Amino acid sequence: MAKTKITAGLLVRFSTVAIFILLSVASLIFATYLLVTANSTYTLVLACAFLGLSVFAGFFNVYASVSYFRSYFYDRYIEEITAKLKPLKSMPSVAVVMPVYNEDPELVEKNMSRLFETEYPKSKVRYYMVDDSTAQGVKERLQKFCKDNNVVFFHRNERKGYKAGAINNMLKHSKEEFLAIIDADEYLVNTNFLKDLLPYFSDSRLAYVQTEKRSVKGSLLAEAVDLFDAFFFKFIQPHRALNNTALFAGSCGVIRRSALDSVGGFPEYVIEDTFFSLESDLHNFKSLYVPRIYALGRSMATYTALVKQQWRYNYGATQFISYYMKRSKEEKKLTPLATLDYIGHGFGLNYLSIVLIAFTLLSVLVSFSTLPFVHFTLKQFLQASYISRYLEFFGGLAFILSMIAPVILTKVYFGSVRKGFMVFVLNFALAVSRAKAAIAAVMHRDPAWRPVRSMSSTRHNLMYAVTNTKAEILMSGSLLSLGFYAFLTSNIAGSIWLTTYGILYLFATLLIYKYG
């Protein structure tokens, strides 16, 4: 019976990998078709650009395929490690830290109170709250709560170094052997958090243990966003862990204090966890991922909150690219697999934003170029002889497969086609804001995205939606207009292509209108 299940599971993996590979091949064939049919310097440049983007996209599709396939074997790997663990002979001291930044005080107090129920000797654990809140009322209430509950409270008037700076400041005043971080919006659902994870540190070179991060159920938007985490923690993180490059994800993990000190504390960047993970690898430490959920985060309440989050992620990822290039050149200690993992992570959101937008703009130029498919009428487009004669349908196939892949994965593992389609749509809706975040990082601008709030209510407010998605509306309107013009000039392929893109980018406005 077990063998049948394993075979069935592998068949699902092989089938999904085949879709990703076919996606890459279809894109490359279409790019090659453009290259072969180029009839001027201009069309040759377009074809070369499309081919370059296709190769770049192909790397991520193959990387995703490998990650997805290898993750199948991770459960057995971690089970073997866990089976060899021995009970702790002595309980090490632990600092349980909750970073706070203008969070709802009631939520913070509830989540911190839950941490007091952690199954661990009280004499060996000390609780810390590092508060960077700018709201005076929040600061005063949390300070009183900490005083009443024997929690060490730190507050900084200047938020230097972001979350990393707050924790580094706290580390100057603590001596515990291990550090456990739980974010302010996360509620502990398994009080054996420390008892389960600390035995893994019997390996003296292990720097940190990261667990799976998920959120409580919410709206369709919230659950689709939760799938972003699910895809990472179920497929990419296990693959990375097999390469000893499991990422520390900022919370729901435990860190060896001596390892953190060895790398100089948390690098003070927007996404300090990724930078710390790299430094840990460069200092020859090990890392481990335990695919169990110990805490659940708050669900994503609004689309505005999602844009803020994704802006911060891609701002940090763009910073990380240059940081990684510099550090890896200096140290030269990463394995080829580790190198691929960090390149994939650093460029991941830029692949889903800048490259996606570049593909869109190239689609416009290609659609109105002098390449052969521009001259197709609707009747010709539907004739099988033209499909067999030209290879342009591979462009459409690549686009369709890019939508099918996340939908299939979501249906197989999470039982929902709707959520899979939402994940696909979100990548287009967020593309412009992610790209703007990357540009802001390169230009050393403010790492925060601040929406225009000219009204009290943001949900179902058309003015708020339009004001905060002007770039997306301009892009969508231009694509829809060009798609209509292409239709009038019998450019059916170009019309379908551009109209579809125009609708997808318009989802940014629709989602912020619906969810606020």
Rounded to whole angstroms, the Cα distance separating 108 from 128 reads 12
Burial of 411 (0-12, 13-18, 19+ CB in 10 A): middle
Would you say domain 86-326 falls under CATH 3.90.550.10?
yes
pLDDT at 385: 52
For residue 10, the model assigns a pLDDT of 74
Confidence band (pLDDT; 50, 70, 90) for 251? very high
For residues 386-399, average pLDDT = 53
Q: Name the least confident of 24-28, 174-178, 417-421.
A: 24-28
* DSSP state string for 446-480: -S-------SS--TT-HHHHHHTTHHHHHHHHHHH
Strand order across the 206-215 sheet: 152-155, 125-131, 94-100, 178-181, 253-256, 206-215, 286-297, 186-188
pLDDT band at 377 (very low <50, low <70, confident <90, very high): low
Task: Dump pLDDT digits (tens) for 69-79.
Answer: 899 899 999 99
Torsion of CA 22, 26, 31, 36, to 10 degrees: 120
**How far apart are alpha carbons 226 and 223 in whole angstroms?**
5
User: How many other β-carbons are positioned within 10 Å of the β-carbon of residue 476?
Assistant: 22
Tens-place pLDDT, residues 199-227: 999 999 999 999 999 999 999 999 999 99
CA dist 123 and 145 (Å) reads 20
pTM for this entry: 0.88
Question: Which is higher by pLDDT, 313 or 63?
Answer: 313
For residue 194, which of 259, 263, 97, 108 has the smallest C-alpha distance?
Answer: 97
Residue 28 vs residue 220, higher pLDDT: 220
- Tens of pLDDT, residues 443-467: 988 888 888 875 566 788 899 999 9
Is residue 407 predicted with pLDDT exceeding 90?
no
Lowest-confidence pick of 32-41, 81-90, 175-184, 321-330: 32-41
Q: What percent of the chain has pLDDT over 70?
A: 91
Q: Mind giving me the DSSP string for 127-186?
A: EEEEE----HHHHHHHHHHHHHTT-EEEE-SS-TTHHHHHHHHHHTT---SEEEE--TTE
**Nearest C-alpha neighbor of 439 from the set 304, 312, 343, 315:** 315
Quick one: pLDDT band at residue 495, thresholds 50, 70, 90?
A: confident
Which of 269, 252, 245 is closest to 317 using CA atoms? 269
Q: Quick one: pLDDT band at residue 398, thresholds 50, 70, 90?
A: low
pLDDT tops 50 at residue 3? no
Q: Pick the residue with more confidence: 352 or 455?
A: 352
pLDDT of residue 152: 97
Mean of pLDDT values over 228-245? 93
Query: For tokens 């940190």, what's the residue?
Result: 208
Q: Which residue has the higher pLDDT, 106 or 396?
A: 106
Q: Given this model, what pLDDT does residue 435 score?
A: 95
Share above pLDDT 90 across residues of the chain, in percent, rounded to a whole number:
59
Residue 116: burial class (beta carbons within 10 Å; 0-12, 13-18, 19+): middle
Report the half-sphere exposure of 184 (CA within 13 A, side-chain side): 19
Q: What is the CB-side half-sphere exposure of residue 127 using CA atoms within 13 A?
A: 24
Helices within 332-469 (DSSP H only): 336-351, 354-367, 378-381, 384-389, 393-414, 417-429, 431-442, 462-467
Q: Residue 490: pLDDT above 90?
A: no
From CA 516, how far away is CA 512, in angstroms rounded? 5
434 or 66: whose pLDDT is higher? 434
Helices (H) and strands (E) in the chain, counts: 22, 8
Q: Domain map of the chain by residue range?
A: 16-72+352-515, 86-326
Residue 42 in tokens: 């201009």
Residues contacting 260, CB < 8 A, separation 6+: 171, 179, 207, 266, 276
Answer whether residue 328 shows pLDDT above 90. no
In sequence order, what are the beta bridge partners of 214? 296
pLDDT of residue 394: 56
Judge whether residue 113 has pLDDT over 70. Answer: yes
Report residue 4's pLDDT band, with 50, 70 and 90 as the boundaries.
Answer: very low
Q: Are the C-beta atoms of 162 and 446 separated by less than 8 Å?
A: no
Q: Which pLDDT tens digit goes with each residue over 282-296?
A: 999 999 999 999 999
Give 387's pLDDT tier (boundaries 50, 70, 90).
very low
**For residues 288 and 206, is the Cβ–Cβ distance under 8 A?**
yes
